[in-house]
Structure 1
């Protein structure tokens, strides 16, 4: 007589945790790229709310696991490097001539780092595919809506799209990498090809704003890691960290070269000469930096010429000096190497995302702005979630020796068949 098993008891707390996690992750993957096309503060508002929901879900479900992973994340080598960088940024306020503005910038960095630690620690050990499908769905819908808004603006008038749309397009472009990685990890080649086509069209609309070239760099990194994961990851990590660490040499190398070209870019050459003069006039600040937020405030007060470089490389060295640049280079190197160790297509997507973000900053795209910091935090969380949604176990194959050593026993009452 077969006895049916009693139904599993309902757990309201577990159901509430799953619902909160779905809402929180949906806010990151689905709502963020869409709402960013309408509101300039979408990332600043949605990312903290989403991470708070993820943390509450983790505390309801497994508080011990959440605290243990959070401790491990903070005490890891990349975690300690990030904490050291933030600590040095706060310390630079002591000699900064603009401590109030620097304090706001350091606080934004601290919030982004803290949210990153909390969000990664709050992710479950196994992410549901239904949640992760929102990554590609949200990015694809947002890309189509952004293209429609840009085409509508071009047809109706010659004015550019609203500022919220331009900022939203930047968010959609950088969030395309985890979406493509998820589709490729699930072997949805046609969907990934369609998304890549839409993202390429969207990236081409941002050529004048300097975002097309970084996306091309990211695509090259994606292809290189796909072809040779270990070697390409090592080379890309070394190039990014080397550029950050050796950035003060760039003005002395590039300024004469740009000036000697027949069709030279006078603005870029002037920016390089200004950077070289800053290094000559402030050799001690090359070690300590001038203090956080001194580039923007210096331009406004006249301490820096308006034509001074607008780049993550220049701002890091001018504000935080050698100490900050070393910490940033080390963090960037280990982050890219860690991305290259992810499974399958995630490695290519992660390295491509870091390459794109670094190229954007190096070419002068809004470094350390609050909305951009929150966007990068969301991208890192989505890669962490996609990594937890991969198949982790395969059915083990039985070795031939074991098959030979364990003969098949016939069932009782039935003689073995003759060979």
Structure 2
């Protein structure tokens, strides 16, 4: 419920903007993780709706602020690099042999990036805590709902248990959305609530070892602990490692080939194919083969079935050196920016980037539309939480003292932003 000063004049436009912002943010933070457990296209539908409501709210409240924020985001260093990466991906359609399917993939990428820029520009400078509480509420309810669904599926017969496959995509969304929820709870000093959410998400992650989500969450948890222990050092190391791993990815098969015999047969075969492609097509390392050529090449027989399906290989094979350099720069500056967020948000933001990167390295849903929309929603949640932190403190005001009273005035506590 939105409280109003009794003496303040009625402003229907301001009330409408506040209501639309509440509904739009609830769509991203509350409805998306829960609906994703029962609908395979929940993120694809709900993320654009939530961002559209935020944009309308911003235009109603203050029309000029949205355009100014959007221009500033696009002209920032990280924004320009990201726009350049997207433009290069679109340009690669010229030499892609699968132009039709690649065009759909490129449009999804452009749409997700545009939603991210517009959603961040539409968020107010100060977010209300009442809205941000929905982040933890939505993720917590979704985690408990997912555990209940998976428990119910485990008790069914083997034929009926196959119905739980639709829940797996929603579980992945809940896992990645747990990082902004944990960061918000810790920033408000709600340790017990954060512990309960971490336990529920941990149990949920343990059910997803086969597809790599559990390993990715462990990597994210390690990054969270490292940033919490030593922010500056950990952020620099993690950003350099992630960007360097993507930039030097073509060297990995040659470095790992001497110990390839210790890996499973499919992994050693993938490394061999990767090394052969790098050796036989050095010119294509500059421009790449075009967007969507890895997936379609494996489907049509242009590439062996054992070809790696992971971010490190796909980025270099499809976008070449130009795309890999832009992508690694984006990751580096994004992680460094996350490390500068206030309080526990730094650890949560870096952990979210590490988790998403680890999932992509393991070959999980690299450029699928629902995953791009989910990552866009996670970024917007972090931006909103960062704008809902304590920013200022009340100044120490001298108090009138009675004669003979020498007690010193006490400073008031911090004032939450957005009240």
Q: Into which bin does the TM-score normalised by the smaller protein fall?
A: over 0.9
What displacement does 1:253 show? 1.1
Conserved in 2, the CA contact under 8 Å of 1:126 and 1:388?
yes
SS of the counterpart of 2:155?
Answer: helix
- Where 1:156 maps in the other structure, the secondary structure is coil
Answer yes or no: is the 8 Å Cα contact 1:127–1:388 preserved in 2: yes
Corresponding residue for 2:67? 67
Q: Report if aligned partners of 2:93, 2:99 keep a CA contact under 8 Å in 1.
A: yes
Give 1:101 shift.
Answer: 1.1
C-alpha displacement of 1:157: 2.2
Equivalence for 2:375: 376
1:341 aligns with 2:343: no
Q: CA deviation at 1:394?
A: 1.3
> Is residue 324 from structure 1 mapped to residue 323 from structure 2 by the alignment?
yes
Q: 1:286 to 1:397 in 2, by over 3 A?
A: same
Distance in 1 between the 2:145 and 2:256 partners? 40
Tell me the alpha carbon deviations over residues 21-44 of structure 1, each in whole angstroms, 9 at most, x when there is no partner.
000000000000000001000000
1:278 is matched with: 277
- Following TM superposition, by how much is the alpha carbon of 1:160 offset from its aligned partner in structure 2, in angstroms? 4.1
CA deviation map 1:119-169 (0-9, x unaligned): 000001111111111000000000000001101111112334533310000
Q: Give distance in 2, aligned partners of 1:304 and 1:11.
A: 62
Q: 1:62 & 1:155 partners in 2: Cα distance?
A: 53
Separation of aligned partners in 2, 1:409 and 1:33: 53
TM-score by length of 2: 0.93
Question: How many matched pairs?
Answer: 400
Instruction: Report the counterpart of residue 266 of structure 1 in structure 2.
Output: 265
Looking at structure 2, the residues matched to 218 and 418 of structure 1 have their Cα atoms a distance apart, in angstroms, of 55
Instruction: Give 1:109's aligned residue.
Output: 109
> Whole-Å Cα distance in 2 between the matches of residues 418 and 378 of structure 1?
56
Q: Counterparts of 1:197-208 in structure 2 under 5 Å?
A: 197-208=199-210
Q: CA deviation at 1:409?
A: 7.6
Largest Rg, 1 or 2: 1
2:74 and 2:18 map into 1 onto residues whose CA distance is 25
Rounded Cα–Cα distance in structure 2 between residues aligned with 1:326 and 1:45: 32
Q: Residues 191-214 of structure 1, C-alpha deviation per residue, up to 9 Å, x if partnerless? A: 000000000000000001111100
User: 2:233 is matched with which residue?
Assistant: 231
* Residues in 1 aligned to 2:179 and 2:289: alpha-carbon distance in whole angstroms: 35
Q: Please tell me whether residue 211 in structure 1 is matched to residue 207 in structure 2.
A: no
1:19-30 to 2 correspondence within 5 Å? 19-30=19-30
* 8 Å Cα contact 1:37-1:168 kept in structure 2: yes
2-structure distance, mates of 1:397, 1:350: 33
8 Å contact kept, 1:221–1:352 = yes
Equivalent residues of 2:149, 2:164 under 8 A apart:
no
Question: How large is the Cα RMSD of the aligned pairs?
Answer: 1.6
Match in the other structure for 2:180: 178
- TM-score of the superposition, structure 1-length normalised? 0.93
- Which aligned segments of 4 or more residues in structure 1 are displaced greater than 4 angstroms? 408-411, 416-419
Alignment partner, residue 244 of structure 2: 242
Offset of 1:397 from its aligned partner? 5.0
Answer yes or no: is the 8 Å Cα contact 1:29–1:382 preserved in 2: yes
Q: Which residue of 2 aligns with 1:166?
A: 168
Shift of 1:300: 1.3
Tell me how far apart the structure 2 counterparts of residues 23 and 163 of structure 1 sit (CA, whole Å): 30
Structure 2: stretches of 5+ with no match in the other structure: 407-419
CA contact (8 A) 1:20 1:57 kept: yes
